[in-house]
Chains A and B, each alone.
Chain A
Amino acid sequence: MSEEIKELREKFSETVQNVSDTQTLEEIRIEYLGKKGSVTGLLKSMKNLSNEERKSFGQQVNVLKNEITEAIAKKAEQIKQKELEREISSVPEFDVSAPPVLDRGSYHPITLVQRECERVFRSMGFTVEDYSEIVTDYECFESLNIPKHHPARDMQDTYYLTNGQLLKSQTSAAQNAIYKKYRKALVEEGRPIKAIFPGRCFRNEATDACHENTFFQMEGVMVDKNISISNLIFFMKTMLSEVFRKDIKVRLRPGFFPFVEPGFELDISCLICGGEGCPSCKHSGWLELCPCGMIHPEVLKAGGIDPEEYTGFAFGLGMTRLAMMKYGVKDIRDLNSGNLKSLSQFTAE
């Protein structure tokens, strides 16, 4: 009988050796260990043996059965490993050398520069205000100490509308409304007025690489009991250093604007050369950046604020110019061109 066991063992080890897939292995398992399998058959044939023989034979068959079970499990593990290796080797190495597809949106550069400025001014306690683009003569001129015949009205050729309103030629047009909006909080609660108001402005002029009839400015005002020229210089220097993210030197020169007194032209040390002198600052070391000044008493009065009690400063930053400086845009018309080849390049920083 043990001959049969021996034969079966040899036959099995020969058969299992060449198996390479799970299915054949399963067939083999059934062939040997299944209900009608060879090993089961051996056990069944034991009934004809004597008790002693049966005991010894039974033990031998069980050993065989365990061997086969173990061998099949081992084989199954091998096959799985092989299949995994086959799967991995069949997958190609992906090509990452191709240029990436940059499918993303874009912000208008003015939005980016404006947000940068808003971030800085908000951090110093300024509110961000919005104002209409179509304004009245009173808002744009009268309330800003620019009466009808004033030569300052010649300086800016304004687009007038059929109903007598106009497209605002300066963000200062919002000043009066902002004073009126916050004067109560200023007078009754002692809250200083600190506001910036970015917006689109319009000038009736021919366009070229440096001139646009539609552009962005950002006006800022601060009004409180003791706002001084010294404060103005401090705020401008601090805020511009934040906006440009480097230490900026500022310089004030007298400048004439009817809504401020004294009025200044503010220069900053050249961003390119730092003040040494280079072509971009025409070798002066300075860039003329923004008009500013102490708010004219008449302008405060028009806003319902007593100039004997309160003083304040105002400034106007050219957002369009800042954007051009920041991104190296040479033709101002690119900004309103709607050309995606230009404008899709700008992403948030």
Chain B
Amino acid sequence: MFLSMNWISEFVDFTGLDKLALIHRFSLSTAEVENEIFMKGSDISGIVVAEIKTVEEHPESKKLHLLKVDAGGEELVDVVCGAPNVRVGMKTAFAKVGARIGEITIAPRKLAGYTSYGMCCSEAEIGISDDNSGIMEITDDIPNGTDLKEAYQIDDIVFEVDNKSLTNRPDLWGHYGIAREFSALTGRPLKPIQTVDLSQFDSLPQIDMKILDPLCQRYSCLQVDNITRNVSPVNMRVRLYYCGMRAINFLADLTNYLMLEMGQPMHAFDSRKVSSIRIRRFENPFTFKTLDGVERNIDENTLMICNGENPVAIAGIMGGLDSEIVDDTTALTLESATFDAVSIRKSTVRLSHRTDASMRYEKCLDPEMTVTAVGRFVKLMLDADPDSKVISSLTDEYAFHYPERSFDFTKAFVDRYTGIKIGNNTIVETLESLGFETTEENDVFSVKIPSWRATKDVTMKADIIEEITRIYGYDNFDVNTAESPLYPIRTAEEKTVEDRIKDLLVQKYNLHELHSYVWVYNDEYKALGIEIEGNVRLINATNPNIEIIRRSIVPTQLCQVKYNTDFSKEFGVFEIGRTADGVDPETNLCREHKKLCVTLFSKVKTTEQVYTELCNMLAVIADDIKHEKLSFAKIEASHSYQHPKNLNAIICDGKAIGEVGVVYPTIAKKIDKKASIVYAEIDVAEFAEIVSKSMVYDEPSKYPEIEVDLTFMSDRFAPIGSAIDAVNSPLVKKVSVADTYIDDSGKSITVKIVFSDKTKTLTREEVTAVTDNVIKNLESQGIALKV
């Protein structure tokens, strides 16, 4: 919303004050002012009121005229002018030689053989409207030679307030409300708004009007007649233009002016079309043509203004085409009303049509304002068009009153909330300046909330704090730390686990952390041949490619790996992110999980190598964070990306916390024809829940260890491991796979067993007793020792 300092200063005297500094304070105390402030009129000078005395056709040009102009000097000035609307006796804006318009300084200039000593200007050239169809027409009786800036309020400071910062302030949608803020900020009084006393028309007939629906809070109307003025006064037009509105005609301009001044939207109907006003909704939907010529669908929730049974306007949003003011309109009916804000907002959403009026109604306008606005309208109308007449009495139905609000609060409350000391007088003066009737006795304050703040904005004590502090100025606050007691802070295990996993994967394994979206990427999944599985869906996604919440991060990560195949011959990525797995039927809440997903990609290693690498990586995580051993158990594939043979559950502390697997061959090939791709996914919360084993120090033996390598014909380590475990010898210190080998006779595994004893040097016999036992055990299973 654009605001004019001239307009505001009609209500607050700024004499002697720095207006730019005031606007800055307003931004810090009331609402955000955009950076660019417009110094209107600063780009023109030397433009005066002048009268065209003679007009001659230019002998060689159809467009140009040769004028003699009285610019207030002793001699008439020769001017060559191309405007179509020149005529003798017309007064216009004239830029004299030496005048400045933007970058241009006016100098004598030859035009088609004749010298022009100055330029007649259009309103657009002066910057007071967008009318460039001809030169400005001045109808006011102003002496020739008068500087245009003295004649009209062209010099102005205009600033823009971010509408979003006004959503909670219905009172700030007009200049008068803004002026009240400036009054509070400057400590200068707010002048009352000048109106006409409407009681003088009480003897005139009432308008037939009835509110038939509780969505209309108040409806005030008045009939006027004989408005003859067509073009609005220049100052009014300039203000409208500076505030972002085009001048249309006197009547339309007046309603707009009222809205920008008081924040009260007004509408004017042709009185012939509204002989009996009814405000209501309709049970059955229908279409309605608004005055912008658009057919709109009206449903049973949309409040309408009707003439009897016939709708003539969408309440609070826009008038109808049929009841619009037309050329032969003489009498018109003025509407000044308030409606239920939520209803108006919903209607604008349904109709996808937001207007300057509806924008204001949405904010909960003060119903007390409707009649004042009518009085103001009549005042402005009579001032500019003395022949116009009021032909009805004020007809006003006030159906819904907001409750009057007032409450008490103590000085201690203010001190506690602010943390600083603000004097009682300052508190009272501040609140009074904003229109809150305030009294104070023994540090207890009583305030009455003014009607324009009581519709929704100020409802409790904390709101009062804001009023006091923002005017006091946050820059003036002493800042202090809190005096709260200190306690140690605890970090949730899950958070610690997450941080450590990230550190291990990045710092030990050189993996890269990625982020992704929480939904399935339909197109990317399809391209890889990953089945999209049903799950919780978004109901209002604007992009159809995102609709289903993912069940697993694995497919997402495979899409990301596909995108990165040219990054390096070998890389690994991971993410800790969320998935959802359907809805719990009992609570109707989504089952959300936090998952760690890791994918390794390699064009230089075999799939088995990469798979083992990943399993080892997971084992290190479990060992490092929980001091737990991992084991893996084969599981059945159930998702399109899983390999039917190489898929294992990850088991930690007896429970499955995730899976590790090879990517399904066709998907892997679509990602890269030659690469080995394996993944793992772990439920972070499940892993975090595992109680960490405490570390126990194992003092190394002082006696030498004995290492024995045994090679067995076996394709799996598991039976060998079990056989060693079965002996249950306290001498076995460590078992590892030293080598695996495949030849014509099959796969063989060399295990290295380390023996040690803390009390003595081991003998060969003691060791052989154990190994013989293992060998015998395995032989009985058909697993031979290879020699």
**12 intermolecular pairs with C-beta atoms under 8 Å apart:** A108-B515, A111-B502, A126-B489, A159-B540, A191-B485, A202-B518, A214-B518, A228-B419, A229-B420, A233-B479, A234-B480, A338-B559
Distance (whole angstroms) from the CB of A142 to the closest CB of chain B = 15
Residue on A nearest B498 in the bound complex, by CB: A130
Q: Which residues from B are CB-within-8-Å of A39? A: none
B600 in contact (CB, < 8 A): no
Q: Which residues from B are CB-within-8-Å of A273? A: none
Q: Which residues from A are CB-within-8-Å of B310? A: none
Partner of A224, one of B165, B420, B482, B518: B482
A149 touches B346 (CB 8 A): yes
Q: Which residues from A are CB-within-8-Å of B506? A: 104-107, 348
Partner of B28, one of A165, A190, A253, A348: A253
Partner of B466, one of A108, A159, A262, A335: A262
Interface string of A222-242 (1 = CB under 8 A from B): 101111111101110110000
Q: Which residues from A are CB-within-8-Å of B345? A: 149, 151, 154
B518 touches A133 (CB 8 A): yes
Interface locus among A12-20, A54-62, A89-97, A339-347: A339-347
Interface string of B166-177 (1 = CB under 8 A from A): 011100000000
Partner of B539, one of A107, A161, A339: A161
Cα(A218)–Cα(B324), bound, Å: 52
Q: Which residues from A are CB-within-8-Å of B580? A: 134
Cα(A255)–Cα(B164), bound, Å: 9
Interface string of B7-37 (1 = CB under 8 A from A): 0000000000000000000011111100100
Q: Which residues from A are CB-within-8-Å of B164? A: 155
- 19 more A-B residue pairs beyond the given contacts A122-B491, A194-B484, A230-B420, with a C-beta to C-beta distance below 8 A: A105-B572, A108-B514, A128-B492, A149-B342, A155-B164, A164-B588, A192-B485, A194-B489, A200-B518, A204-B542, A206-B542, A230-B478, A233-B479, A253-B27, A261-B463, A282-B35, A297-B461, A340-B512, A343-B512
A127 in contact (CB, < 8 A): yes
Cα(A252)–Cα(B470), bound, Å: 9
A162 touches B564 (CB 8 A): no
A34 in contact (CB, < 8 A): no
Q: Which residues from A are CB-within-8-Å of B480? A: 228, 230-231, 234
Distance (whole angstroms) from the CB of B150 to the closest CB of chain A = 33
Cα(A163)–Cα(B662), bound, Å: 34
Distance (whole angstroms) from the CB of A273 to the closest CB of chain B = 14
Cα(A158)–Cα(B30), bound, Å: 28
Query: Chain B interface (Cβ within 8 Å of chain A)?
Result: 27-32, 35, 164-165, 167-169, 342, 345-346, 349, 362, 416-420, 460-463, 465-466, 469-470, 474-475, 477-487, 489-492, 494-495, 499, 502, 505-507, 509-518, 536-543, 549, 559-560, 563-564, 567-568, 571-573, 578, 580, 583, 588-590, 592, 594
Distance (whole angstroms) from the CB of A327 to the closest CB of chain B = 14
B512 touches A128 (CB 8 A): no
B420 touches A256 (CB 8 A): no
A contacts with B, residue count (CB < 8 A): 87
Cα(A162)–Cα(B547), bound, Å: 10
Cα(A50)–Cα(B140), bound, Å: 161
Ranked 10 nearest A-B pairs via Cβ: A228-B419, A230-B419, A262-B466, A338-B560, A105-B506, A252-B474, A192-B484, A234-B479, A105-B510, A256-B168
Q: Which residues from A are CB-within-8-Å of B516? A: 336, 338
Partner of A228, one of B29, B416, B507, B563: B416
A72 in contact (CB, < 8 A): no
Partner of B513, one of A108, A134, A154, A213: A108
Given contact pairs A162-B537, A251-B28, A229 touches B589 in the complex (Cβ within 8 A): no
B462 touches A262 (CB 8 A): yes
Q: Which residues from A are CB-within-8-Å of B477? A: 229-230, 233
B484 touches A344 (CB 8 A): no
B592 touches A134 (CB 8 A): yes
Q: Which residues from A are CB-within-8-Å of B518? A: 133, 167, 200, 202, 214
B470 touches A262 (CB 8 A): yes
A204 touches B541 (CB 8 A): yes
Q: Which residues from B are CB-within-8-Å of A204? A: 540-542
Cα(A254)–Cα(B161), bound, Å: 13
B567 touches A340 (CB 8 A): yes
Q: Which residues from A are CB-within-8-Å of B539? A: 160-162
A127 touches B491 (CB 8 A): yes
A162 touches B483 (CB 8 A): no
Interface string of A109-151 (1 = CB under 8 A from B): 0110001000000100111111011101000000000000101
A81 in contact (CB, < 8 A): no
Q: Which residues from B are CB-within-8-Å of A225? A: 484
Interface string of A150-181 (1 = CB under 8 A from B): 01101100111111110100000000000000
Q: Which residues from B are CB-within-8-Å of A252? A: 28, 474
Interface centre among B167, B499, B572 (most CB of A within 10 A): B167
Distance (whole angstroms) from the CB of B671 to the closest CB of chain A = 13
Q: Which residues from B are CB-within-8-Å of A184? A: none
A36 in contact (CB, < 8 A): no
A217 in contact (CB, < 8 A): no
Cα(A204)–Cα(B543), bound, Å: 9
B32 touches A340 (CB 8 A): no
B489 touches A127 (CB 8 A): yes
A265 touches B32 (CB 8 A): yes
Distance (whole angstroms) from the CB of A124 to the closest CB of chain B = 9
Residue on B nearest A136 in the bound complex, by CB: B589
Residue on B nearest A336 in the bound complex, by CB: B515
A25 in contact (CB, < 8 A): no
B484 touches A224 (CB 8 A): yes
Cα(A253)–Cα(B164), bound, Å: 14
Given contact pairs A106-B513, A164-B588, A340-B564, A231 touches B346 in the complex (Cβ within 8 A): no
B512 touches A130 (CB 8 A): no
Cα(A162)–Cα(B535), bound, Å: 10
Partner of B564, one of A129, A158, A222, A339: A339
Cα(A173)–Cα(B466), bound, Å: 24
Q: Which residues from B are CB-within-8-Å of A167? A: 518, 538
Q: Which residues from B are CB-within-8-Å of A69? A: none
A261 touches B482 (CB 8 A): no
A75 in contact (CB, < 8 A): no
Q: Which residues from A are CB-within-8-Å of B487? A: 125, 191-192
A229 touches B482 (CB 8 A): no
Partner of A134, one of B486, B491, B512, B590: B590
Partner of B512, one of A115, A237, A265, A344: A344
Distance (whole angstroms) from the CB of B148 to the closest CB of chain A = 32
Interface string of A199-218 (1 = CB under 8 A from B): 01010111000000110000
Cα(A348)–Cα(B687), bound, Å: 25
Q: Which residues from A are CB-within-8-Å of B573? A: 338, 340
Given contact pairs A108-B515, A128-B495, A230 touches B418 in the complex (Cβ within 8 A): yes
A296 in contact (CB, < 8 A): yes
Q: Which residues from A are CB-within-8-Å of B485? A: 190-192
Distance (whole angstroms) from the CB of A159 to the closest CB of chain B = 5
B567 touches A162 (CB 8 A): no
Partner of A235, one of B474, B482, B571, B590: B482
Q: Which residues from B are CB-within-8-Å of A158? A: 540
A230 touches B517 (CB 8 A): no
Cα(A127)–Cα(B492), bound, Å: 9
User: Which residues of chain A from 291 to 343 have any CB-CB distance to chain B below 8 Å in the complex?
Assistant: 294, 296-297, 307, 311, 335-336, 338-341, 343
A32 in contact (CB, < 8 A): no
Cα(A111)–Cα(B506), bound, Å: 12
Cα(A163)–Cα(B571), bound, Å: 39
Cα(A252)–Cα(B419), bound, Å: 15
Interface centre among B463, B480, B512, B516 (most CB of A within 10 A): B512
Q: Which residues from B are CB-within-8-Å of A126? A: 489
Cα(A17)–Cα(B169), bound, Å: 109
Q: Which residues from B are CB-within-8-Å of A194? A: 484, 489
Q: Which residues from A are CB-within-8-Å of B484? A: 192, 194, 222, 224-225, 227
B167 touches A256 (CB 8 A): yes
B589 touches A159 (CB 8 A): no
